[in-house]
Amino acid sequence: MLLFENIILALNGVKANKMRSLLTMLGIIIGIASVIAIMTVGTSMTANMQETMSSYGANDITMGVSQKSTETETMDNGMFFEWGPRSSQLGDDDYIYDTMLDTLKEEFPGKIKHFLLESSIGDAKAQDGSLYANVNINGVNNEKFEDEDLTMLTGRKFTDKDQKDGRKVAIVSDYFCNNMFKGDTEAAIGQVISVLINKKYYYYTIVGVYEYDASSYWVSTSAEETSTTMYLPLKTAFDFEHDEPRYQQVTLVTGDGVTNVDDFMAEVQTFMNRRFYRNNDSYEISCSSMSSFMSEMTESMNTMSMAISFIAGISLLVGGIGVMNIMLVSIQERTKEIGTRKALGATNSSIRIQFIVEAMVLCFVGGVIGIVLGMVVGSILSKQMGYDATAPISAIIFAVGFSMVIGVFFGYYPANKAAKMNPVDALRYE
């Protein structure tokens, strides 16, 4: 019998016994739906995470000062020596300085675009009579301010001269203007504000206003108490502390010459430690990148999804057993039909193929229903979690293929039993 005719017969059998077929396919449907839903949510979360982290600079390298680990060496005579961090507080020689960054950039021409530099002064309060606004003061270079990706509403950004001369200018949020200037951002430009820092007042001229993004800050229950960032030129921030510019952490923005961020990160770390921290007993340079963090997170999420999918796959095994059971019942009911076909010359292989095809069709239909159900459930869950639903094509193909394999595996025994049936005994069966 032709394959197409076997498929038609199998579909007719499903239609003729709708309830029995549905109950038989239930395990397959639940298993496939569970796998697809889990993989959809996992893929959606991974895609969203990668997009978010990419916006933060997936190829950027964070270089920071960290304590050396304590090491112990045991001598042959049983005595041991322990060495490692001799200081738990950063000294002047432990920080990263501009001269180090200049040397690093010269060492790797074309591989470093620029550095993102900042210095936090901390929390403060701008005051004008009864009006006030809480701020967190952060000194930044122009590259770091651009990396913040803020929407400027009015005024200007910092100029090179602002940065070089350490001018006392500031960029504030429109939320700040709501408290201090009744929401008039235009009126704020050029105004000198007094800021209370450590019980002392400092004065800065507002040159720009950016749009406040509530999702980026901690919002207090009281609007007046909400603190937003006030930006200063980097040199202005260091002049406030009467400090030479120095950093505990710096971000490197890689150039086009970097093909592998992880390899370049290792080169930077090795160079900095050999050149500047070789004789430092307590501290060293350590580097990390968003790309390596993304890889670890993606691998962890994929492992978790696979583990949960494996558990969900148990229902596929149960569904396969159900298929085998119903095929055995079907063969029992169609004993005379099998005997008649064999008496008319049907070979064992044609009988076997007929029932294997029926099992495969049963699993395929259950698989398709499971895929649709899984995509719907996965999309709903992804939307509820705030992610754009992304159905993994590979998981769908795997689900369809796996359901077909189940049909062959669990359908073979009943089909082989039917093929080996004696036609005389089959025709006598009541």
Per-residue model confidence as pLDDT tens digits over 145-179: 998 889 999 999 999 999 999 999 999 999 999 99
pLDDT of residue 87: 58
Question: Tens digits of per-residue pLDDT, 79-104?
Answer: 444 455 555 688 888 999 999 999 99
Neighbour count for residue 389 (Cβ, 10 Å):
18
- In whole angstroms, give the CA distance from residue 19 to residue 21: 5
Question: Tens digits of per-residue pLDDT, 216-252?
Answer: 544 444 555 788 999 999 999 998 776 788 999 999 9
Least Cα distance to 175 among 217, 118, 119 occurs for: 217
pLDDT of residue 203: 94
Q: Mean pLDDT across the stretch 201-223?
A: 76
pTM: 0.60
Contact between residue 175 and residue 285 where contact means Cβ atoms under 8 Å apart: no
pLDDT of residue 337: 72
- Give the mean pLDDT of the chain: 80
pLDDT of residue 274: 94
The domains of the chain are located at 3-52+294-428, 92-289
- In whole angstroms, give the CA distance from residue 319 to residue 403: 10
- In whole angstroms, give the CA distance from residue 14 to residue 17: 5
Contact between residue 227 and residue 220 where contact means Cβ atoms under 8 Å apart: yes
Provide the percentage of residues in the chain whose pLDDT is more than 70: 79
Burial class (CB in 10 A: 0-12, 13-18, 19+), 97: middle
- What are 44's two structure tokens? 């959606």
- In whole angstroms, give the CA distance from residue 230 to residue 209: 10
Least Cα distance to 133 among 176, 171, 174, 172 occurs for: 176
Q: Mean pLDDT across the stretch 254-261?
A: 85
Between 110 and 84, the more confident residue is 110
pLDDT of residue 366: 83
H-helix or E-strand containing 419?
helix 393-419
Which of 60-69, 318-327, 359-368 holds the top average pLDDT? Answer: 60-69
- As a dihedral over the C-alpha atoms of residue 170, residue 173, residue 175, residue 181, rounded to 10 degrees, the angle is 40
